[in-house]
Structure 1
Amino acid sequence: MKIYHPKRSRPKITVIGGGTGLPVILNSLKNKDAEVTAIVTVADDGGSSGELRKMFNTVPPGDIRNVLVALSDIPEKQKDIFQYRFKSEDKTMNGHSLGNLIILATSEMQGSIYQAIQLLAKMMYVDGHVYPASEEPLILHARYKDGTFGEGESQIGHPDKTIDYVSVSTTDPDQKTAKAGKKVVSSILDADMVVLGPGSLYTSILPSLMIPEVGQAIIDTSAQVLYISNIMTQMGETEGFSDANHVEVLCRHLNHDFIDTVLVNNAEVPKEHVAKMANDEYLFQVDHDFKKLEAKVPKIISNDFLNITEKGVYHNGDKVVEEILRAVSFNHRTLKL
């Protein structure tokens, strides 16, 4: 059992992930009394990010762009410009986000993706810290339970295959082992709480954890590690998964029961909404298995965290952050007593 120790009156919360889930939490954390750090996955190889990654052998900028916007205090009009996606008959530009191109250009000017992010964070009045999990693009590898293998973040999900294990490597044939980016490890070790998710289990959360230095830091940190369980299962990744299955996969990948708290949505997604989404990326609502969860995790927080929109089912960022801050405050108060 970890012994938590208060390090500061303003708690430091480090959030690890990618995709659409990470900005939701960061946006809600932004105006709270906490020091926020975002560690962003760099294994994306699809869409605009994937194309730019291949053209320039660069870290995919899409998730970084969304995180900068989520933590930014610039006016909404300026955010809209940064997020603008070209609609052009010219295939070279069509589909690319202006922010992705700005990140790429700044990276070339500054000589590194790390320096580029720090400069853009200042320009965008970002309240917090943003670090890429690695400063080089990573390749996500999957081993399936039938003994076959797959490669690529956008390619490993198959409806007819079950993922058994994922790992990451660099694109450099002479240096395959991925290295953590600057300040990533220290941000984990010095945190009061490390938050994982919400996000795709195999393609948003695990890619960062499978960087050896990052995985070890997660195990070694004295911070409370909190996992936000997914609301819906995902096609090609987590069909038939319960919340306990998600936790089991995370722990198995690090060969350690490292999760201290799990946030679980206990509100039911309306059946008509599930039916509407069934043929898309998502399948069904994640089942609950509290008995197995209790065997793996010391603390379970269940509540209505639903935010249903026309685009899909998401976590209610404000409600999730309320529980995160309550958990951090509780640990601090208990130890001061």
Structure 2
Amino acid sequence: MHRTTAAGEGGDLDRNLTDLSMRRISPLELLPHEDLREKLVDLVLNGQPPGCDQQTAALFSQLRKSLVEHSVDETKVVVFGGGTGLSNLIGGDSRRDTWTRRPFSGLKEIFPLTRSVVCVTDDGGSTGELMKDLPLVALGDLRHVLLSSIQLERLQRLYALSGQAACATAMALAAIFNYRFAARPADAVELLGGCGDALSRLPPPLGFFVQELVNHLFVDRRFNRVLERPHCLGNLLLAAAVYRQIDPSFDNVQLSARPDLLHQALLAGLQSLSSHLGAADQAVLPCTSTPAQLRLIYTNGVEIRGENKSSLARRGVPVDRVFVDFHGEPRTYNEILDAISEADIVVLAPGSLYSSIIPIFSVPGLADCVRDNRRALKVLVSNLWVQAGETDFSIADPERKFHVSDMIRAYERNIPGGIAGLFHEVLCLSLRDVPASVLQRYAVEGKVPIYLDRRVVKEQGFVPLECGLFSKEALIEHGVIQHDPAILAQAIKTVHLARTFVGERENGNPRPREEDQAENFSYGREPLVPCVKYRMINDILEKIEVQRYGICDCELDPLKIRAAIGDIIWRHCDIPLQHLRFFAAVRCVHEEEWRRDQRWDNVYSFFDPPSRTIMIRRDQFADPRRLEVAFLIALGESLLGDYAAEKRVEDVVSDGLRLGKVYHLRLRPEGERTCLFSPEDLRRYLALARMEATADPCHFTRLINGREGFTPPGLFMGLMYAWYLDNRLASHIEYKMTIMKIRQSDLIPEQQKMVGRRKNIIAFFREAVFAGESGQSRPGLQQRCR
């Protein structure tokens, strides 16, 4: 029995060895990674694998040569994105000093017929300054991508330049387009003088064109206020190119109501500028000509507006939803729709998760057009790093950072119609070639790579392709990990060429849509065009008195104080204009005359209902951040107006022992009350502020235990107001809100009640305080606020 078994086992061993000996292993298995496309990208980027015999090495060399030299000059590419991520993919980040070393590399070099569709919701920096005066979409990202789109051959043909002269031209253009000034230049000569000799280094026809654009800034009266603000010259050149297309008899106020004129002028101005710079025809296109504003809702219920504000926010909770509020009916261009329909490759560029791809596909028609193109290669390029304030928390598990699958879920959740048909392959960074010491140093700085959870991404129906997409030059010189435009372009080209060798089964098949997704209501709101709102803010503030109180000897400049308050309101674009109608003055009070009781807090401002004045202690004006906190708290308090007819505290005594106090609040009768809130909303708020209603609808009480303090409704309104706008402005409220971040337990029911109360107060501020549309008053507001 034993011998038979041994003999049987010996026969099995012989057969197994024979089978293995007969099998052939493809030399492609010597290349790292799993997918054939990953292997081919690795071959193109890193060359043949070590240890190959001579014949295999020759085959690899031929294959690599074929992939690299295969012409894709007629291949049409459309790339969606915004800002640094898009510009870097197209031709390198043109804002960096190092860009001029290789200004003609990237996707545009390999695919000359590349078009960029750019997000236009940015509202920070020079772009935000332009939006104060001009009714245009955000120009900053358009300018950024446009400079990155200039092509060597086109520049050479256009101006008969050598390769060296073309590089010098790119360097001069970078100096001009990236030049920034803080004070108004006296004239065009002074403005261009800030760029050094850059203008003289341009080919004469191009130099003359740039000079014309700069001259236009000083001739066109519509730019008078624009030049008073700090700006990037490239943005102004693009604005001048646009405004040259518009009859000068239309001022900016009239243009705000003529989106048809701006629609055509924007496209024509972009085309004029790009044709002179040596970019491809219609190389850069705005996703829409309609100004728009980003709106984010966090998982704790807070809603904020503005791309710049969202990028700076540190809420400590994940973003739940993203919407785009267009200032009118959103319009796009037929040129974009035609380019998408004809595209052989569609690329979703890396960049800000919530302020890049999602706003683009919120423009009606764009996502459907991409879905309808069923023959194109569609690639999503994943971000490299977790972005603070956006991807530092996962909705699936708030205790960990973002994974690639989380990024895909965010797109699915926020793009109207979902992501089916928008992309199939997901191009991700391979960390295997990144030194551990570099990753460790990044981790110490708080920077974490977005982890590729390959299995989950496959289950979602997509093809993850892991490649060494980072710049080895930047790693060696600066020790940083960033996308390399030339490497990214080669990777996309290789994936494109490999499509014919990959079966349909491996091309990805996104799962059916989940129920919890965005619908096409992301453009349901129509806030004021920014320049109109800015003008209305200034009109209101001009009527606000700036006063000194008593012995206060501070040298207050009313114009500067109004400007500082105006900047605060502009930065917090969530503030509706009707919130500015409840105070009539801002008063500076000397420290010695400050009479507010500070036993329970360090708030150095308040709203005085009888005089409708915001009172701020003198020392708060010296620091912009402290002034911001003081003003916003008092502004929040002012929304309650003169709601209180009486406030008093009485002791609670039993058997001679002082057990606590009762705070009594008596409201003014509804007809005599000046207040933002309806009677129903006011009662709702007082209940959320822990005030108890009595049989008398105008009488509310609050029991205070022992010698404890409490936050009365007026101060609580101010603190919550400031916290809602920026949680870093009110640490007292932020501390109370941290309970919402703690994992809830059934062991302590009171915790769940507290969380419920926090959610309800946030909902009240979202729905009753900040829901009002800018410029539109609530019923009866004008009558009450004279």
Q: What is aligned with 1:38? A: 116
Q: What is aligned with 2:241? A: 106
2:408 to 238, 247, 250: 247
Q: How does 1:162-241 map to 2 (within 5 A)?
A: 162-171=318-327, 175=328, 177-222=329-374, 223-239=376-392, 240-241=401-402
Task: Call closer, same or farther: CA 1:18–1:9 in 2, change over 3 Å.
Answer: closer
Q: What is aligned with 2:607? A: none
Task: Call closer, same or farther: CA 1:276–1:241 in 2, change over 3 Å.
Answer: same
The amino acid across from 2:330 in the alignment is A
Q: How does 1:136-151 map to 2 (within 5 A)?
A: 136-151=290-305
Q: What is aligned with 2:617? A: none
Q: Percent identity?
A: 24
Q: What is aligned with 1:159? A: 314
Task: Call closer, same or farther: CA 1:327–1:312 in 2, change over 3 Å.
Answer: same
Query: Is the contact between residue 262 and residue 297 of structure 1 (CA under 8 Å) also seen in structure 2?
Result: no
The CA distance in 2 between the partners of 1:182 and 1:51, in whole Å, is: 30
> Are 1:322 and 2:490 matched, yes or no?
yes
Q: Tell me, which stretches of 5 or more residues in structure 1 are unaligned?
A: 1-7
The CA deviation at 1:330 is 2.7
> Are 1:22 and 2:86 matched, yes or no?
yes
Q: What is aligned with 1:3? A: none
The CA distance in 2 between the partners of 1:9 and 1:330, in whole Å, is: 17
The amino acid across from 2:410 in the alignment is V
The higher radius of gyration belongs to 2
Q: What is aligned with 2:23? A: none
Secondary structure at the aligned position of 1:121 is classed as helix
Q: Tell me, which stretches of 5 or more residues in structure 2 are unaligned?
A: 1-71, 92-105, 156-168, 186-226, 247-264, 393-400, 504-786
Q: What is aligned with 2:130? A: 52
The CA distance in 1 between the partners of 2:122 and 2:455, in whole Å, is: 34
TM-score under structure 1 length normalisation: 0.87
The CA distance in 1 between the partners of 2:309 and 2:351, in whole Å, is: 17
The CA distance in 2 between the partners of 1:218 and 1:235, in whole Å, is: 30
Secondary structure at the aligned position of 1:274 is classed as helix
Greater fraction strand:
1
Q: What is aligned with 1:96? A: 231
Query: Is the contact between residue 79 and residue 347 of structure 2 (CA under 8 Å) also seen in structure 1?
Result: yes
The CA distance in 1 between the partners of 2:420 and 2:84, in whole Å, is: 26
Secondary structure at the aligned position of 1:146 is classed as coil
Greater fraction helix:
2
The CA distance in 2 between the partners of 1:107 and 1:221, in whole Å, is: 31
The CA distance in 2 between the partners of 1:264 and 1:21, in whole Å, is: 14
Deviates more, 1:264-273 or 1:283-292: 264-273
The CA deviation at 1:207 is 1.1
Secondary structure at the aligned position of 2:133 is classed as helix
The CA distance in 2 between the partners of 1:53 and 1:250, in whole Å, is: 28
The amino acid across from 1:159 in the alignment is R
The CA deviation at 1:272 is 5.0
Q: What is aligned with 1:295? A: 459
Task: Call closer, same or farther: CA 1:18–1:66 in 2, change over 3 Å.
Answer: same
Q: Deviations over 1:7-44 (max 9, x none)?
A: x9721110000111111111101221441010011000
Secondary structure at the aligned position of 2:308 is classed as coil
The CA distance in 1 between the partners of 2:90 and 2:309, in whole Å, is: 27
The CA deviation at 1:206 is 1.3
Q: How does 1:124-143 map to 2 (within 5 A)?
A: 124-127=277-280, 129-143=283-297
The CA deviation at 1:292 is 0.9
Query: Is the contact between residue 231 and residue 314 of structure 1 (CA under 8 Å) also seen in structure 2?
Result: yes
Query: Is the contact between residue 277 and residue 312 of structure 1 (CA under 8 Å) also seen in structure 2?
Result: no
Task: Call closer, same or farther: CA 1:85–1:226 in 2, change over 3 Å.
Answer: same
The amino acid across from 1:164 in the alignment is D
The amino acid across from 1:55 in the alignment is D
Query: Is the contact between residue 177 and residue 232 of structure 2 (CA under 8 Å) also seen in structure 1?
Result: yes
Q: Deviations over 1:218-250 (max 9, x none)?
A: 322222221000110111100111011111211
- RMSD of aligned Cα (Å): 2.5
Secondary structure at the aligned position of 1:21 is classed as helix
Deviates more, 1:65-74 or 1:225-234: 65-74
TM-score under structure 2 length normalisation: 0.39
The CA deviation at 1:217 is 1.9
